[in-house]
Amino acid sequence: MISFIIGTILVYQGMSLLYKRFHSPLLVPIATTTFILIMFLLLFSIPYDTYMIGGRWIDELLGPAVVALAYPLYQNRKALKKYFTPIFVGVISGTTTGILTGIYMAKLFSIDLKTMLSLTTKSVTSPVAIDIAEMIGGIPTLAVVYVMVAGISGAMFGPIFLKMAKINHYIGVGLGFGTASHGIGTAKALEIGKSEGAISSVSMIISAIYAAIICPIIIRFFI
């Protein structure tokens, strides 16, 4: 239904204007828009599948949006070559930590195995998280929920933690957003600057590839 597409876009644009006006981490557009849409669907008892008849066209744009990140990558190719080693090491260590924290958080709260397996994919972009969840025996739809939570929380509170840690170099900022909060984090990094966005997109891509390889191995040894 075209009305759902138009409604989603209008809500997001409205929330973007509100965020620019007050610039509070609690008003990050992706978070507020998601909340409003959920409340709308619940209030009017609209099934998610019905919404996705129209909403899926927005979902289909995720792929082209990721491909479009190649442009800022090209613009910052010299910096990427210069800082390749710290970027690579940072992404590998960050992704590994993300998987392990998911496992140990699940164990700490005695969460069942399938939910635990789904939680390990929380820091990887949605399409890859779905594939990994299916591969390791998790629940793909639940994995997407965790991915959204990681992305939204990273966009909301990432700038605060980076400021507290006194991390302001564009390499560190981009690494943090891309590795921990994937696509949503990359969108936030692009708000800060093109260089931060480029590094974040590289981090997101490397993290996705590495997670697909290492996640089954880590699970074999730690679960």
pLDDT in tens, 182-196: 888 888 898 888 889
Rounded to an integer, the average pLDDT of 74-92 is 86
Residue 14 confidence (pLDDT) above 90: yes
Name the CA radius of gyration of the chain, rounded: 18
Report the predicted TM-score, pTM, of the whole model to 2 decimal places. 0.81
pLDDT, residue 36, reads 93
Higher pLDDT, residue 55 or 192: 192
pLDDT, residue 69, reads 66
In the block, tokens 């974040």 appear at 200
pLDDT in tens, 157-188: 999 999 999 999 999 999 999 999 988 888 88
Residue 68 confidence (pLDDT) above 80: no
- Percent of the chain with pLDDT strictly greater than 90: 28
Residue 123 confidence (pLDDT) above 70: yes
Cα distance between residue 206 and residue 203, in whole Å: 5
Q: Alpha carbon 195 to chain centroid distance?
A: 18
Split at pLDDT 50, 70, 90, the class of 1 is low
Cβ-contact 137, 118 below 8 angstroms: no
Domain boundaries, the chain: 1-60, 62-222
Higher pLDDT, residue 219 or 127: 219
